Structure 1
Amino acid sequence: MTKNTILVATMAIATIGTTTQSCMAIATSSIGLTVLKQILLGGITKGLNIFSNQDSFLANQLIDAALPQQLRDINNTLQKLGLNNLVQKEKQYIAQAAAFTVDTSRPILVNAVNSLTAEDAARIVQGGSGAATQILKERTSAQLMAAIAPKVDAKLNEFGLVQSLNSALAGTNILGSIFGGQNSNNLATSGISNFAAQQMVNGLFNIIESHEQQNATTILNSLNGVR
């Protein structure tokens, strides 16, 4: 059996979630664990490259899908008020802020991947496609939020986004409904920044998970060709 065949088979076992004892042994071996890490690192690189480019960030549906409902409600209200231009500016500012989080997010994610163990690989095998991303998300989400939210906050304040939104939404009840009656007259800086940071973190994991799942499909097709 060639080295490539071994790697293809190992990747298929690691991502599909086969649970036989022999497959478990392969997936949790040093080769299987290396392949799992390579898949995750590839997804991280893909996601952070998207974050580094404003146009790519804005066009990515997986990032858009991660938009928190509170921020979506704010945007819907702005659009009803005929302020589509402000919505577009807000999205552009968030995309620009995302680029400033890349260097902070990368070492957190890479270190977490490099810390994966054979026990983690076994859990991933049992969990099936997407399980590797979920483990990474469990271990880094809070750390990522704590690390990037201040950067997002500083950048959005630099752009004056919060002030613009406060002025545009004055006289509406949208802020009161979002913050439960608190800060009803003003959109707190930390509020908009946290919403934006949540979108970035969850959007990044959406991309990583999609990359993991795409590899699973490719691996299956390749495996069929080497039998």
Structure 2
Amino acid sequence: MRTNTILLATMAVATIGTTAQSCVALATSTVGIAVLKQVLLGGINKGLNIFSNKDSFLANQLIDAALPKQLRDINSTLQKVGLNNLVVKEKEYIAQAAAFTVDTSRPILINAVNSLTAEDAARIVQGGSGVATQILREKTSTQLMAAIAPKVDAKLNEFGLVQSLNSALSGTNLLGSILGNQNTANIATNGISKFAAQQMVDGLFNIIENHEQQNANTIMNSLKAAK
């Protein structure tokens, strides 16, 4: 059971007898919203710093956990036919491509945090763990995908990844079946790069949510000091 939540952290600053409405009022105050923004911005910076470093990106379990099933199936198939070296290259290329999305993602995320409203803060304090990240995801995920997918596609094609994967599995129909029996052209335009971009977006939100959960005590102490 996840008890280390923003809801509990915020309620912990209240004295005995303080109502839930008072907790919401505290979180939705200017200071309360500033604290929530600070935590989200910390998570964003942490995630984008990881994206900026290939080795950090490759080693991060939260990013690996975000790997779409289709791309995981492709990697499993490649390994089964003895092409583990291609899987290693694929992961390295995706990690390199991630670094080129940082400057695009940062302003989108920061603008969303800066537009956090009292209504958002009330939802966060009432909703519990991970809700702040969920709100950020709702505000930005579609925009992030639209913004970074072309950059990811350009980089992966520059590295020759799509061509390499198509060549490695040509004639087997394995790649097409994994991707829903798409033809090669569709795989190039809608497949590998899209899955890689989705991994980046989901992996980034995983990092932000983890940061949010780890900093519940920071939220509590900050709000307590401001009370």
On the 8 A contact 2:101/2:151 being kept in 1, the answer is: yes
Measure the CA separation in 1 of the matches of 2:32 and 2:103.
28
Change (3 A) 1:40 1:11: farther
Measure the CA separation in 2 of the matches of 1:139 and 1:222.
25
State the partner residue of 2:145.
Answer: 145
Classify the secondary structure of the residue corresponding to 1:181.
coil
Aligned Cα root-mean-square deviation (Å):
2.7
Classify the secondary structure of the residue corresponding to 1:121.
helix
On the 8 A contact 2:35/2:222 being kept in 1, the answer is: no
Are residue 75 (structure 1) and residue 75 (structure 2) matched?
yes
Higher mean Cα deviation, 174-183 or 53-62? 174-183
On the 8 A contact 2:10/2:223 being kept in 1, the answer is: no
On the 8 A contact 2:7/2:126 being kept in 1, the answer is: no
In structure 1, list runs of 5 or more residues that go unmatched.
Answer: 1-8
Moved over 4 A (4+): 217-224
Measure the CA separation in 2 of the matches of 1:194 and 1:102.
17
State the partner residue of 1:24.
Answer: 24
Larger relative contact order (CA 8 Å, sep ≥ 6): 2
Instruction: List per-residue Cα deviations over 1:55-89 (Å, max 9, x = no partner).
Output: 00000000000000000000000000111110000
- Matched letter for residue 59 of structure 2: A
Measure the CA separation in 2 of the matches of 1:66 and 1:205.
9
On the 8 A contact 2:28/2:122 being kept in 1, the answer is: yes
Change (3 A) 1:77 1:105: same
Measure the CA separation in 2 of the matches of 1:30 and 1:114.
12
Are residue 42 (structure 1) and residue 42 (structure 2) matched?
yes
Measure the CA separation in 2 of the matches of 1:200 and 1:219.
27
On the 8 A contact 2:10/2:219 being kept in 1, the answer is: no
Alpha-carbon shift at residue 170 of structure 1 (Å):
1.4
Classify the secondary structure of the residue corresponding to 2:181.
coil
**Percent identity between the aligned chains?**
81
On the 8 A contact 2:32/2:223 being kept in 1, the answer is: no
Measure the CA separation in 2 of the matches of 1:20 and 1:173.
58
State the partner residue of 1:160.
Answer: 160
Are residue 52 (structure 1) and residue 49 (structure 2) matched?
no
Measure the CA separation in 1 of the matches of 2:223 and 2:138.
30
Change (3 A) 1:174 1:10: closer
Alpha-carbon shift at residue 218 of structure 1 (Å):
5.5
- Matched letter for residue 177 of structure 2: S
Change (3 A) 1:220 1:150: same
